Amino acid sequence: MRLRLAGAVLLSAAAYYVYLPLPTGVCEPWKLMLLDALFRSFMKASDVAHALGVCHRLHLLNQVVSWLEVIEARSSPVLHVTDSTLGGIPTRVFQPKGGKRMKRGIIYFHGGGWALGSGRMRSYDRLCRKMAEDLDSVVMSVDYRLAPEAVFPDQYHDALGAARAFLSSQVLERYSIDPQRVCVSGDSAGGNLAAAVAQELSSDDTVTVKFKAQALVYPVLQALDFYTPSYQQNQAVPILYRHYMARFWLEYLGADRSLESLLLANNHSSLDQPAIGASARSKLDWTALLPPERRKHFRPVLKETGTLGVMGVVPGLMDVRAAPLLAEQEVLGRTPKAYVMTCEFDVLRDDGLMYVRRLQDAGVSVTNDHYEDGFHGCMVFAFLPMMSGVGQRSMDNYIRWLDQNL
């Protein structure tokens, strides 16, 4: 009887911890709850380890990720898979063994808030394998450096260096990649890097081979407004909570975590900040850039006065290499045709939607693939054990777009 009672209490406690009220419409909510419970547990454990001085919170998280997810490079009857380098940056290469002599080429940057993850993770390995097989393409998944050891612009420089090497005649010839059919892609923080790289290389006249396409999957593109409608609507929706995103930005920009409350209050982008002019504000004015159905009933949060000096301490907040949404119109107009995936239940939804509008206004052909039941990170959950319906649909449609446009 006591064992049954103890078991019932433990089950109740577990259910209470796992259960999280989610918005109506989220795809397979119980799977998302379980995933979130695991992620929250690891985040709390890492915070405890950090507070006790055992290790940096990000080191523990990456240790867990490596233990659970990182796998060796394994070739198959149809793919040659190797761990190599690209411009000196560790890269996993997926190369089809048959098919056409000249291949399409894709360089991919993984997500993880510029601080977590690896292209050698099982989920990214599976994604890149499927891309390589279905598209008969060479896929190169880049392992850029991570915070806290690396901070902006280190990750950007790694991504840019790898992309330059990818587009070089030596790499294109070695892997039989068609220089007319090359793409840069990434998800979340990797989508940020892909967008920044696309902007830089499209405007660099010394680069003779240009990307034909950019494919951005729920990209993070700005850190000046943490009160966009999607930040307000989805602030408590897993797996990327609003305060998590602020922490990732501070880690990436090498700033003190004590600034988190300032970012979350929009004190860093108040109207009295001399570093933020009218031109910069117009580039993320969601009242003008978002369609009415996404603005809904939400109102902007603009502080008249804030904390002066934040931009001086964290200049990366205004650096277009870190925040591609702040790019000038003429820069955007030179970038290649774009695919931008967005999810309704994602704090970053409006970053992507504003970028879609700004690219369109600059004359770039854009496909916005929006998932009304999607959540942040859903595309990498297209495989077992956490397979989700929206994960499978989003991955299939992403690959279909690449097939039709690359």
- Domain ranges (residues) in the chain: 25-406
Helix, strand, coil fractions of the chain, as percent rounded to 5: 45, 15, 35
Q: Which helix (H) or strand (E) holds 81?
A: strand 79-86
Q: Which amino acid is at 385?
A: P
The sheet carrying 137-142 orders its strands as 79-86, 89-96, 137-142, 103-109, 177-187, 213-217, 337-345, 366-375
CB 280 within 8 A of CB 289: no
Q: What is the pLDDT of residue 12?
A: 37
Predicted local distance difference test score (pLDDT) of residue 11? 38
Q: Tokens for 117? A: 């993850």
Do 340 and 367 form a contact (C-beta atoms < 8 A)? yes
Distances (CA, A) of 215 to 165, 300, 334: 19, 29, 15
CA atoms within 13 A on the CB side of 279: 6
pLDDT per position in the chain (406 positions), as tens?
A: 554 544 433 333 344 456 677 888 888 888 888 888 888 888 888 888 888 888 888 888 888 888 889 999 999 999 999 999 999 999 999 999 988 889 999 999 999 999 999 999 999 999 999 999 999 999 999 999 999 999 999 999 999 999 999 999 999 999 999 999 999 999 999 999 999 999 999 999 999 999 999 999 999 999 999 999 999 999 999 999 999 999 999 999 999 999 999 999 999 999 999 999 999 999 999 999 999 999 999 999 999 999 888 989 999 999 999 999 999 999 999 999 999 999 999 999 999 999 999 999 999 999 999 999 999 999 988 776 778 899 999 999 999 999 999 9
Check if 188 is active-site. yes
DSSP string for 372-398: EEEETTGGG-SSTTS--HHHHHHHHHH
- Based on the residue annotation, tell me whether 346 is a catalytic residue of this protein: yes
The CATH code that applies to domain 25-406 is: 3.40.50.1820
Catalytic site residue from 137, 188, 202, 388:
188
Residue 90 in contact with residue 83, Cβ under 8 Å?
yes
Catalytically annotated residue among 118, 376, 388, 394 = 376
**DSSP 8-class letter at 99:** S
Q: What is the pTM of this model?
A: 0.95
Among residues 264, 223, 211, the alpha carbon closest in space to that of 242 is found at 264
**Rounded Cα–Cα distance for residues 42 and 48 (Å):** 10
| Kind and range of the H or E run holding 82 | strand 79-86
Set 36, 346, 350, 373: catalytic member: 346
Q: Round to whole Å and give the CA distance between 399 and 183.
A: 12
Cβ neighbours for 236, distance < 8 A, ≥ 6 positions apart: 242
